[in-house]
A and B are shown apart, each in its own frame.
Chain A
Amino acid sequence: MRRFALIVLPYAWLLALFLVPFIIVLKISLSDIALSIPPYTPTLDLSAGWEGTKRFFAGLDFENFVFLTTDDLYWKAYLSSLRIAAVATFLTLLVGYPIAYGMANAPDHWRPTLMMLVILPFWTSFLIRVYSWMGILSGEGYLNQLLLALGAISEPLTILNTNIAVYIGIVYTYLPFMILPIYAALERMDASLLEAAEDLGCSRLTAFWLVTFPLSRNGVVAGCFLVFIPTVGEFVIPALLGGSKTLMIGKVLWDEFFKNRDWPVASAVAVILLLILIIPIVLFQRNEQKQREAEG
């Protein structure tokens, strides 16, 4: 009985506030926009009985999805989000790997402090961390002031409100997600393997490519998924750092909902985004499971 209660409460909570909302999104994505409250039709009227239910299902159609394929704004936004997320994930890996490597090779008594220094930004407001780059990258910002003072440039660079600023913002805010799993993988590595490789005549660099990197692969894969998946639907970074040319689907969904007030189209955008993300999410869960099994 006690065990039953233990399962039921969180289960019911998640069903009601996670699964049911998705079914509603799915349903509204099949509805039509209307000038009423709520602003879509048909609405399910259970008091009308079986006839009402039949009328309700007859009113649903795939019109919004057809609309998404005819207006090239949407598929361009999906493709552009995937591209930005992929490039940003690769850049985060390039920046994060050396840091994780440095941490794993640091003297033992430094490591707890280094760990805390990586985790600290993660606890700090995401919004503030993105905001901190607005002052650095703007036309009269600190970066341009510095470069002008050094004489490296003669005119301020336009970085804020471009895709470059979006990449910088993503790398900056998601860096801890990349560093931590790679660090965890590298830290577990047996250093004598490297010595063996070097004894067998490998150079440092070859030993890294043949031994260290393959052994950290699980960490790299986990880190890449942890950066890639949330970045595809990112809203705050493109809205603050991106420009009018930065096309990302999270922002399209937001505008569709808050500016155009077209709930059915916003819901259809959400459904497709979810379908796109299901593949990486499933792959990520498999990778995690494999790792857990390998450890256990």
Chain B
Amino acid sequence: MRRVTWFNTTSLTLGFTFLYLPMLILIVYSFNRSELVTVWAGFSTKWYGELIRNEAFLDAAWVTLQVAVVSSTVATVLGTMAALTMVRAGRFWGRTLFSGMIYAPLVMPEVITGLSLLLLFIGIGLDRGVFTIILAHTTFSMCYVSVVVSSRLATFDRSLEEAAFDLGCSPGEAFRLVTLPIIAPAVISGWLLAFTLSLDDLVIASFTAGPSATTLPIKIWSSIRLGVSPEINALSTILIAIVATGVVTASLITKRASLRLQAEERAAEQQA
């Protein structure tokens, strides 16, 4: 029995207002003509124009995108391998250490992760730049991917794989034709998570970037430390719009996929 009471309605209304109002204000004021961010002086899209002409922001956005695509892809491969190991390998030497290393980065303060990676890169004489940010992001994202994929693997019915073996599949074929399609939604959400974590990261990137590479969060950081700026409001609005579109599209696709799966299952039952 679910109850719609005044208490529930109020707490949801207040809660979601709290979550969304600050971002809404940011979006509205990104269309403000005034130089003074907090004083409304009429509608204008001039800050978006300024942003597009700002080479430094565009360069930073390009670096960020490269880092995010490469690191999330490598992290997805490594994280899926780690998840398969965690769920299926049984006991092996150093298993506790392995699972500790998978879970620890999830709760590790970013300043520590950043500092330790920087000291490693300097220790082995690796020049800091795009490559070192990719290494750093891959390392913490693979842990998130592995947690997401393991939770899907834990409920995976292994008899499906055994059936594939019985029908003459090699282990590689069984993985590609049976396991991977079933865990695909988790792998994709792991990739998306890794991608957004990388886009978003300021602290670890600041430690590992060095002077030659600047990511978008580092650029945003250096300009907002001095206070609120209309250009950053415009940039934030664009980023919020991209994320919102992505999340809504992804959830619609998963919903349609699950509906199709249900329909197929029903059809298969009827045939049987």
Which residues of A pack against B, CB within 8 Å? 2-3, 6-7, 9-11, 13-15, 17-22, 24-25, 28, 38, 95, 98-99, 101-103, 105-108, 112, 114, 116-121, 123-129, 131-136, 138, 140-142, 145, 172, 175, 191-192, 195, 225-226, 229-230, 232-236, 239-240, 250, 253-254, 257, 263, 266-267, 270, 273-274, 277, 281, 284-285
B111 touches which of A3, A124, A253 (Cβ 8 Å): A253
State the CA gap A101–B108 with chains docked (Å): 29
- Contact status B26-A135, CB under 8 Å: yes
State the CA gap A296–B79 with chains docked (Å): 23
Given contacts A17-B135, A140-B38, contact A102 B203 (CB under 8 A): no
B243 touches which of A123, A254, A266, A284 (Cβ 8 Å): A123
- Contact status A14-B98, CB under 8 Å: yes
- Contact status B12-A25, CB under 8 Å: no
Given contacts A132-B26, A135-B29, A266-B115, contact A125 B89 (CB under 8 A): no
Q: Which residues of B contact A10 (CB under 8 A)?
A: 78-79, 81-82, 85, 142, 146
- Contact status A9-B78, CB under 8 Å: yes
- Contact status B107-A284, CB under 8 Å: yes
Q: Which residues of A contact B136 (CB under 8 A)?
A: 17
State the CA gap A132–B11 with chains docked (Å): 22
Q: Which 4 pairs show the lowest CB-CB distances between chains A and B?
A: A233-B109, A21-B116, A98-B11, A99-B15
Taking the nearest CB of chain B, how far is it from the CB of A91, in angstroms? 12
- Contact status B38-A95, CB under 8 Å: no
Can you identify 9 A-B contacts, CB atoms within 8 angstroms?
Answer: A6-B81, A19-B97, A19-B101, A38-B122, A98-B7, A101-B11, A120-B243, A138-B228, A253-B112
Given contacts A101-B11, A123-B247, contact A135 B38 (CB under 8 A): yes
State the CA gap A138–B82 with chains docked (Å): 46
A6 touches which of B25, B38, B89, B104 (Cβ 8 Å): B89
- Contact status B81-A14, CB under 8 Å: no
Given contacts A25-B115, A229-B107, A281-B107, contact A134 B98 (CB under 8 A): no
- Contact status A17-B139, CB under 8 Å: yes
State the CA gap A291–B207 with chains docked (Å): 36
State the CA gap A11–B83 with chains docked (Å): 11
Contact with A along B1-35 (1 / 0, CB 8 A): 11111011101100110111011011001000000
State the CA gap A273–B109 with chains docked (Å): 9
A128 touches which of B3, B110, B236 (Cβ 8 Å): B236
A14 touches which of B9, B92, B101, B224 (Cβ 8 Å): B101
- Contact status A127-B220, CB under 8 Å: yes
Q: Which residues of A contact B84 (CB under 8 A)?
A: 6
State the CA gap A7–B92 with chains docked (Å): 9
State the CA gap A273–B236 with chains docked (Å): 32
State the CA gap A58–B165 with chains docked (Å): 59
State the CA gap A21–B23 with chains docked (Å): 37
- Contact status A132-B22, CB under 8 Å: yes
- Contact status B9-A235, CB under 8 Å: no
Q: Which residue of B lies closest to A225 (CB)?
A: B107
Q: Is B53 an interface residue (CB 8 A)?
A: no
Q: Which residue of B lies closest to A40 (CB)?
A: B119
State the CA gap A114–B8 with chains docked (Å): 13
Taking the nearest CB of chain A, how far is it from the CB of B47, in angstroms? 14
- Contact status B102-A250, CB under 8 Å: no
Among B15, B123, B199, residue most surrounded by chain A Cβ atoms (within 10 Å): B15
Given contacts A230-B107, A267-B115, contact A145 B38 (CB under 8 A): yes
Q: Which residues of B contact A103 (CB under 8 A)?
A: 12
A24 touches which of B11, B109, B116, B248 (Cβ 8 Å): B116
